[in-house]
Amino acid sequence: MSRGVAQFYRGRDFLPVFQMAFRILEVFRQFLTGNRMLPRAGFARKISLFVAVLASTVLFSFVTASVVHSLRESQNRERLQELAASTLHRAELGADYAFIALTELSERSDIVCGQNTIELFRKQIHQRAIVKDIRIVDAQGITQCAAFPDVLGADQKHLDMTALQSSRNDHIKFMPLTLNGQPALGVHWTIDTDRGLVAIVNTDTLVFDVLPSALRTGNEVRVMLTDGALIASHAGGNPGAQSCADHMAEPQVFSAASRRYPLRAQICIDRQLVAMWNNQVSAAYPVGGGLLGLIFGLLAVRAVTGHRSLTSEIDDALAGREFKAYAQPIFCLKSGEITGCEILARRVLRDGTVILPGDFIPLAERTGRIAPITWQIMDDALNQLRPLLRSNKRFTVAFNICAHHMMQPSFTADLRAHVSGSRVGSRQVVIELTERHEISDFDQASATIAELKKIGYRVAIDDAGTGHSGLSYIQKLGADTIKIDKFFVDPVIDDPSARSLINMLVRLAHDLGMSTVAEGIETREQAVALAELGVERGQGYLVSRPLPLDAFLRFVAERDNGHRRSAA
């Protein structure tokens, strides 16, 4: 068994099985961990994961059965090869017995045809049952005398000396014979130039019980001389056949050749029988493999559903263009006119599920994916809003940019490439610098903002009054707009301190030549109070929640139509 296992690991016959198994396992792994066709939510995902577990179970069961079947087939081939070697060993022993008998006789000087010589021959034959006759032949192969003249029959007194084949010992040569209608072996010992001894070896016993009983019918064991002359055969042998293919449709041949004598042994078995012999795979193997597959599938599903890399999720979403732009209107607090919008990121799954930015933006910023998400959102927004921006040159669209992203050396060039690629003017694009991370280098940030303003972009400080921003922060950056956070807007009606802070921000903006936008306005009273404090524009659910871009465009068109009808 240990040798069979060793061959299992080194044999090329198993390579296709393992290649197929590993290829399917790799496809299965990619399907679970990286394939974007796997649904990410809902009933469809559950069905997909169930199918994946089922596929893993079936796969392992199939591979286990295939491997066990292949291992046993390999063991069958190894056993048959060993039987061929054993058959050759038997033939060599028969030749050895004849060689020993002839050696002992050749050492005598009185080997001449006579009663004493015949008795010596018979004594050697009685000691070695496999040897059936010993005789003296002349140089032409004509029998001069024999221990048992009738062994080969009266018609075989003349042996074919041209069929002799040499061995490593110059005195010994081999020839094919026929004994009782069956192939046999003649071993010839040269006494002198005119005479030789021939021992007749009964080779029928060499191959009689070599094959297991299940393989004896229709298959063949052959022993031949090196020129192909048959000297022993069992179960279908044909003395005139030069190969197994002469009488078998698809033979698989197991051969062994002697190093001492011109002998070789063959076992010819039907190829399908080699695969099926003693190869009934017990149900325990596929069942055990199926259980392993079930465990593997469950662990893989657990890894996917519980521990899958969120970074990979973001990469998959980027590749699938799942990050979409939503727009929330920015409006004039006094007139109600929509003057622009802020673009907000959403992730929209294939089943329509909308994931809010709080679930992916912080991670995207930590892992460096925020830049590609930003550019994907910007391209989406500018391309769809292009007709509105071209028809209303005062309309602006604002994009949130984190400080780390803006500080990258390539940011300005990348921004210009994306905006120009969308065929939109830079003066209609506002960059909102978010407050999630503190700016580490004010000089670099100020220089970048100055460069952006120089080429036409506007810059706003988002969530002013919270986070890291202070008065000096706002003053040094040189932005165009201050956006007042919802934290101060919510209590603006009832909280004097909130009103005081908003009033201070408005005065600071006025002194620095900046405009103001209040975020998170939900009621008419808040809008009135903010307008009284000098805030110019607002943003919030009072006018509209964030909308998909197509819905936003319809909303703006309907609102403009309403304003025109009111003016008329």
Query: CA neighbours within 13 Å on the CB side: how many for 183?
Result: 25
Instruction: Label residue 185 left, alpha or beta by phi (over 0 means left) and psi (-120 to 50 means alpha).
Output: beta
Higher-confidence residue: 62 or 420? Answer: 420
pLDDT band, very low/low/confident/very high, at 287 (cuts 50, 70, 90): low
Q: What is the pTM of this model?
A: 0.50
Looking at residue 39, its pLDDT comes to: 47
Residue pair 337/561 in contact (Cβ under 8 Å)? The answer is: no
Residues in the chain: 568
The answer, yes or no, to whether residue 177 has pLDDT greater than 70, is yes
Residue pair 502/521 in contact (Cβ under 8 Å)? The answer is: no
Higher-confidence residue: 300 or 255? Answer: 255
3-state secondary structure of 271: helix
Strand partners, 185: 176, 201
* Count of helices and strands (H, E) across the chain: 18, 20
Instruction: Label residue 465 left, alpha or beta by phi (over 0 means left) and psi (-120 to 50 means alpha).
Output: left
Distance CA 369, CA 357 (A): 13
% of residues, the chain, pLDDT over 70 = 76
Looking at residue 491, its pLDDT comes to: 92
Q: pLDDT tens digit string along 76-134?
A: 778 888 888 988 898 899 899 999 999 999 888 788 899 999 999 999 999 888 899 99
CA dist 526 to 216, 360, 462, 480, Å?
101, 31, 19, 24
- Residue 415: which H helix or E strand, with range? helix 411-421
The answer, yes or no, to whether residue 52 has pLDDT greater than 70, is no
Structure tokens at 425: 């003017």
Looking at residue 14, its pLDDT comes to: 44
pLDDT band, very low/low/confident/very high, at 296 (cuts 50, 70, 90): low
Looking at residue 395, its pLDDT comes to: 95
Highest mean pLDDT among 33-42, 363-372, 559-568: 363-372
The answer, yes or no, to whether residue 450 has pLDDT greater than 60, is yes
- Taking residues 503-522, report their average pLDDT: 92
pLDDT band, very low/low/confident/very high, at 298 (cuts 50, 70, 90): low
Q: Name 401's Cβ contacts closer than 8 Å, sequence gap at least 6.
A: 374, 411, 431, 432, 433, 434
- Taking residues 468-475, report their average pLDDT: 64
pLDDT band, very low/low/confident/very high, at 71 (cuts 50, 70, 90): confident
Query: CA neighbours within 13 Å on the CB side: how many for 378?
Result: 27
CB atoms within 10 A of CB 512: 14
Strand partners, 254: 267
pLDDT band, very low/low/confident/very high, at 240 (cuts 50, 70, 90): very low
- Taking residues 425-433, report their average pLDDT: 93
Mean pLDDT of the residues in the chain: 81
Looking at residue 152, its pLDDT comes to: 84
Q: pLDDT tens digit string along 527-544?
A: 999 999 999 999 999 999
The answer, yes or no, to whether residue 29 has pLDDT greater than 60, is no
Work out the angle at residue 147's Cα, subtended by the Cα atoms of residues 144 and 151, and round it to the nearest 5 degrees.
95
Q: pLDDT tens digit string along 149-159?
A: 888 876 678 89
Higher-confidence residue: 51 or 487? Answer: 487
Looking at residue 328, its pLDDT comes to: 96
Distance CA 381, CA 386 (A): 8
Residue pair 476/446 in contact (Cβ under 8 Å)? The answer is: yes
Comparing C-alpha atoms, which of 365, 351, 357, 364 is closest to residue 324? 357
Looking at residue 35, its pLDDT comes to: 46
Looking at residue 313, its pLDDT comes to: 77
Residue pair 137/196 in contact (Cβ under 8 Å)? The answer is: yes
Structure tokens at 155: 């018609």
Higher-confidence residue: 272 or 10? Answer: 272
The answer, yes or no, to whether residue 288 has pLDDT greater than 80, is no
What residue has token string 């524009």?
A: 537
Structure tokens at 489: 């807007």
The answer, yes or no, to whether residue 468 has pLDDT greater than 60, is no
The DSSP-derived string for 74-137 is HHHHHHHHHHHHHHHHHHHHHHHHHHHHHHHHHT-S--SSSHHHHHHHHHHHHH-TTEEEEEEE
Comparing C-alpha atoms, which of 118, 126, 120, 129 is closest to residue 93? 129
Query: CA neighbours within 13 Å on the CB side: how many for 124?
Result: 28
Pairing of strands 323-332, 547-548: antiparallel
- Taking residues 31-51, report their average pLDDT: 55
Q: Name 64's Cβ contacts closer than 8 Å, sequence gap at least 6.
A: 285, 286, 288, 289, 290, 292
Single-letter amino acid, residue 136: I
Looking at residue 44, its pLDDT comes to: 61
Q: pLDDT tens digit string along 376-412?
A: 999 999 999 999 999 999 999 999 998 888 888 999 9
Looking at residue 466, its pLDDT comes to: 60
Q: pLDDT tens digit string along 251-265?
A: 778 899 999 899 998
Structure tokens at 156: 């075989």
Q: pLDDT tens digit string along 3-14?
A: 443 444 444 444
Looking at residue 307, its pLDDT comes to: 41
Pairing of strands 515-518, 537-539: parallel
Looking at residue 38, its pLDDT comes to: 47
Q: What is the distance between the terminal CA atoms of the chain, rounded to a whole angstrom?
A: 98
